[in-house]
Structure 1
Amino acid sequence: MNDPRLKLKNAIRTLLDERGDGKTICPSEAARAAAGSDKRGDWEPLMPTVREAAVALAASGEIVITQQGEPVDGRTARGPIRLRRS
């Protein structure tokens, strides 16, 4: 799997499935899962791509991007976001 966005989309899906209905994840959890490491230097460079993957999943209606529990547009959101199933 060479496309990092696909790997990150799958990581987001898996983490949300494991977390359960109505629960959220932090995008950094998907970056850590995709990197296979908790070492910041390994996962942190993936963060912009995690946001891209999350925006694509939100555009397809699969997930919702939130800030402070409220839905936001991931393309324009600044600061920490959370991800949950639609």
Structure 2
Amino acid sequence: MALLADRAADATICPSEAARALATARGEADWRPHMAEVHDAVDRLVADARVRLSWKGTAMATRNGPYRIGRQGR
């Protein structure tokens, strides 16, 4: 949510950006192991209607393949 707060209201982030931020905050170089944690968090945020998912401008109801994360209510 902090990454989205730093962006324009209609901007999206890549899940790997969240994983990189987690790794950096934890002093780790490899962000890839954090992807499962990011996906789990995204699923919870979608269920709570706090974020929306899309890919190439098309809305997605759930994660399925590549996706971008945006603020809900756009």
For Structure 1 versus Structure 2, the TM-score category normalised by the shorter chain is 0.7 to 0.9
Q: Number of residues paired by the alignment?
A: 69
Q: Structure 1 pair 44/63, CA: closer, same or farther in 2 (3 Å)?
A: same
Q: Superposition RMSD on alpha carbons, in Å? A: 1.5
Out of 27, 37, 50, which is 1:49 matched to?
37
Q: Structure 1 pair 45/21, CA: closer, same or farther in 2 (3 Å)?
A: same
Q: Does 1:83 align with 2:57?
A: no
* Secondary structure at 2:31 match in 1: helix
In structure 2, runs of 5+ residues without a counterpart are: none
Residue 31 of structure 1 corresponds to 19
TM-score (norm 1): 0.73
In structure 1, runs of 5+ residues without a counterpart are: 1-12
Per-residue CA deviation, residues 34-55 of structure 1 (Å, 9 max, x unaligned), is: 110684xx10111122111111
Q: Percent identity?
A: 38
**How far apart, in 2, do the equivalents of 1:26 and 1:38 lie?**
19
**How far apart, in 1, do the equivalents of 2:58 and 2:43 lie?**
15
